Copies of this chain bind each other. A is one copy, B any other.
Amino acid sequence: MKFRVIKSALVDAVSQVSKAVSSKTTIPILTGIKIAVDEDGLTLTGSNSDITIQVHVPVKKEDLDQVFVEKIGSIVLPGRIFGELVRKLPGDEVEWITNDQFQTTIRSDMAEFQLNGLDPVEYPRLPYLSTDQMFSISADALKSLIRQTGFAVAAKEARGVLTGVLFQLENGVLTCIATDSHRLSKQQAQVEASPEVTLKNVIVPGKSLSELAKTLGDYSGYVDILIAENQILVKTDEFSFYSRLLDGTYPDTNRVIPERGETELVSSTKELLQSVDRASLISRDGRDNVIKWTIKDGKVEVHSTAQDIGSVSEEVNAKVNGPEMSISFNARYMIEALRSIESDEIRIQFTGAMTPFMIQPTDRDDSLHLIVPVRTR
């Protein structure tokens, strides 16, 4: 295996695949990064037991030569050292030779590294995913779906399927749902798919999705998503992102979403968020981080109190319809929901002091957040 590569292209690729490489793994070879070179260019792969990221560095990019292949081949190098080494190489171009004993020489300017590599045949093969269950979505829409639902998954592994986000696809509409049973977030987006593609119970681990969002970064083109029995693949020209799926059946959440509320308020997302954030400074030292809203004509009174510490009171202007009411809830759930909403204005509908209330942006109807209130003491 012998090639030269423009350093910056190698640095970018290594930093992408490194996100999937863990130093703590029961499979030693997965602490490594696999580097393969063929006539098309370089392919780097990093993996852990949950996700795999593969990045391709083509020989030419926008008419610029970036990989100069002399002899094809592949190798696995220790991930952490290789990643740092590449970033710290002195020159602009890297010369690479791997011999038959997997010893790899990496030269750049006046520096020469010798690294002991591992046999690439030991590296796990990537799963094959057919294009039967495939759809396309803009990267921005996908990032928005992750941003609006990912925070609401259950944090504890013991919660099983609730640690993942449910992906459902029907009639070209993708619906993502996450809940930890105290709150629920749901968002929909149009996708490009043949009419016969339908997804019912695809559950993607929340952690994988937050890594996917990082991998997507600023990418704003379309991505292809392929689904198999226990794998999801998100694919662009530049990278492939694989994640395992969660086993089990996601609960039916449709029945918990109320039709409409009795009392309704419309207010500024930012002002409500900041007031809840301030109130939670006091409440979060209490055990349950509970704050109280009193919804009156023209305003929301925000109140929170914690023994030994003190209290906070604040008013936020709001358009209110329906009877006056008081409701208590976990401030963190509200903060996370409001932070995820990109619209300036939200509508909140309340069905009662003890039943879930529904938060929605006023300018779109494909997104909602549900929070279960807390019994007021």
A interface residues (Cβ-Cβ under 8 A, vs B): 78, 81, 84-85, 88-90, 103-104, 110-116, 274-275, 277-278, 281-282, 285, 308-316
Contact = CB atoms under 8 A, between A and B. Distances in A.
A98 to B, nearest CB: 12
Rank and list the top 7 A-B pairs by shortest CB-CB distance, nearest first. Answer: A115-B310, A111-B314, A114-B310, A114-B311, A113-B312, A110-B315, A112-B313
Contact of A110 (B89, B310, B314): B314
A281 to B, nearest CB: 5
Contacts of A312: 111-114
A104 B312 CA distance: 11
A364 B88 CA distance: 30
Contacts of A81: 281-282, 285, 309
A311 B111 CA distance: 11
Contacts of A313: 111-112
A332 B313 CA distance: 53
A341 to B, nearest CB: 19
B112 A314 contact: yes
A315 B316 CA distance: 66
B116 A309 contact: yes
A308 B28 CA distance: 14
A85 B314 CA distance: 13
Nearest to A275: B111
B310 A116 contact: yes
Contacts of A277: 88
A90 to B, nearest CB: 7
A112 B314 CA distance: 6
Greatest chain B CB density within 10 A among A90, A275, A278 is at A278
Contacts of A114: 310-312
Contacts of A275: 110-111
A159 B112 CA distance: 39
